[in-house]
């Protein structure tokens, strides 16, 4: 397979050339209801989480995926709830979800947490009871009232939903945070250029021509939600590129924070870049703390919470 990824598409016309997801109207109605049900001073965060797919066929059998388990997003959503935020969780279907994340996607299947009693009933094994009980209580406490989950699969689903949610929350201004942890594809094939049916292998090698996805941070910051507090992420594998690219993103899009992380160390170290400081703030967590069950997202979200409060009280001057 050869990839040829040179064509650049106009950001404004993206939505005219791609199909919206089937849950767009549902998401509109649910987000609208959720936002209206919050008190007037409630802070709200949109957390995006997981990777987008890029289909290769309209009747999709094959697709290109973006790396992300959804750990950052789902763990952060839990921390935002603990800090008192209402959370709209825009996540890749089947990726990790708040509170459920501890029992899915690991080497143990769900059945390994259960046992049958001598009376024939099924119950959670004793060693898991306390932890599962805590997660269950939090899950039930927040779901619906403070936690709204909206799912996406493809890049196009994600972008339509991101725009829809942004336009719905924009009028709330500085008290809304965007926390863009999803891993979003930079290349795609527009639906009109895609094969309608499964690409056949009889023809030998496959050459793919992909268009560049416009960076949607630009319309998000400039047009969709200009008064909100916007945090984007920068993921790199080359340490030489990380700092320069994080700074470049801040200058180019003019938003509030870029969280830079390296693929290999993302669970124990992140760098927080802002326009105001010449050096990034470093947030890191020791191996011992990680083994004891502490996530780096706890410190990261507490730091962002402080900065967001400052932003609100400065009247978006930060």
Q: Which is nearer to ligand PMT, 34 or 253 (CB)?
A: 253
Q: Which is nearer to ligand PMT, 237 or 278 (CB)?
A: 237
Q: Which alpha helices (DSSP H) does the chain contain, by range?
A: 24-36, 71-82, 126-142, 155-169, 217-219, 239-253, 287-291, 296-313
Q: How far is the CB of 197 from ligand PMT (least distance, A)?
A: 27
Stretch that binds ligand PMT, among 27-35, 163-171, 179-187, 285-293 (CB under 6 A): 179-187
Q: Which is nearer to ligand PMT, 189 or 235 (CB)?
A: 235
69 binds ligand PMT (CB under 6 A): yes
d(CA 214, CA 9): 7
Phi, psi of 233 (to 5 degrees): -115, 155
215 binds ligand PMT (CB under 6 A): yes
- Exactly one of 99, 152, 216, 224 binds ligand PMT (CB under 6 A); that residue is 216
Stretch that binds ligand PMT, among 18-26, 28-36, 183-191, 201-209 (CB under 6 A): 183-191
- Exactly one of 168, 180, 250, 301 binds ligand PMT (CB under 6 A); that residue is 180
- Exactly one of 21, 30, 47, 70 binds ligand PMT (CB under 6 A); that residue is 70
Q: Which is nearer to ligand PMT, 124 or 268 (CB)?
A: 268
Among 176, 134, 179, 161, which residue's Cα sits nearest to residue 28?
161
Q: What is the DSSP letter of 183?
A: B
- Exactly one of 147, 161, 181, 210 binds ligand PMT (CB under 6 A); that residue is 181
d(CA 7, CA 4): 9
Q: Which residues of 141-150 are buried (b: 16+ CB within 10 A; e: fewer)?
A: ebeeebbbbb
Q: How far is the CB of 133 from ligand PMT (least distance, A)?
A: 26
235 binds ligand PMT (CB under 6 A): yes
- Exactly one of 266, 268, 289, 303 binds ligand PMT (CB under 6 A); that residue is 266
Quickly tell me which residue has 């990380």 as its tokens. Answer: 242
- Exactly one of 18, 53, 71, 151 binds ligand PMT (CB under 6 A); that residue is 71
Q: How far is the CB of 102 from ligand PMT (least distance, A)?
A: 14
Site for ligand PMT in 269-288 (CB under 6 A): none
- Quickly count: other Cβ atoms within 10 Å of residue 36's Cβ: 8
Quickly tell me which residue has 């040829």 as its tokens. Answer: 4
The footprint of ligand PMT on this chain (CB under 6 A) covers a number of residues equal to 21
Beta bridge partners of residue 115, listed in sequence order: 123
232 binds ligand PMT (CB under 6 A): yes
Phi, psi of 114 (to 5 degrees): -115, 155
Q: Do 261 and 272 touch, CB atoms closer than 8 A?
A: no
Who contacts 98 (Cβ-Cβ below 8 Å, separation ≥6)? 74, 75, 77, 78, 81, 87, 89, 139, 142, 147
151 binds ligand PMT (CB under 6 A): no
The residues of the shown chain that bind ligand PMT, judged by CB under 6 A, are 68-72, 180-184, 186, 213, 215-217, 232-235, 261, 266
């Amino acid at each position: 397979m050869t990839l040829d990824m040179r064509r650049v598409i106009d950001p404004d016309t993206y939505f005219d050339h791609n199909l919206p997801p089937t849950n767009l109207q549902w998401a509109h109605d649910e987000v609208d209801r959720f936002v209206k049900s919050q008190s007037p001073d409630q802070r709200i965060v949109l957390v995006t989480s997981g990777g987008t797919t890029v289909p290769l066929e309209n009747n999709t059998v094959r697709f290109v995926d973006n790396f992300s388990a959804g750990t950052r997003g789902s763990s952060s959503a839990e921390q935002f709830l603990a800090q008192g935020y209402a959370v709209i969780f825009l996540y890749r279907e089947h990726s990790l979800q708040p509170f459920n994340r501890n029992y899915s996607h690991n080497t143990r299947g769900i059945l390994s947490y259960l046992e049958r009693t001598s009376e024939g009933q099924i119950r959670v094994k004793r060693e898991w009871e306390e932890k599962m009980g805590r997660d269950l209580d939090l899950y039930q406490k927040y779901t619906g009232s403070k936690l709204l989950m909206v799912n996406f699969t493809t890049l196009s689903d994600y972008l339509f939903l991101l725009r829809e949610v942004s336009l719905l929350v924009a009028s709330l201004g500085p008290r809304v945070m965007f926390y863009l942890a999803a891993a979003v594809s930079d290349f795609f094939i527009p639906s009109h250029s895609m094969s309608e049916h499964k690409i056949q292998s009889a023809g030998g090698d496959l050459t793919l021509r992909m268009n560049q996805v416009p960076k949607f941070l630009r319309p998000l910051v400039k047009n969709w939600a200009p008064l909100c507090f916007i945090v984007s992420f920068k993921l790199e594998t080359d340490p030489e590129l990380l700092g320069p690219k994080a700074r470049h993103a801040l200058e180019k899009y003019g938003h509030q924070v870029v969280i830079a992380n390296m693929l290999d160390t993302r669970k124990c170290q992140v760098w927080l870049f802002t326009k105001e400081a010449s050096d990034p703030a470093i947030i890191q967590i020791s191996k011992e703390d990680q083994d004891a069950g502490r996530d780096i997202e706890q410190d990261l979200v507490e730091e962002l919470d402080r900065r967001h409060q400052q932003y609100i009280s400065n009247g978006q001057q930060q």
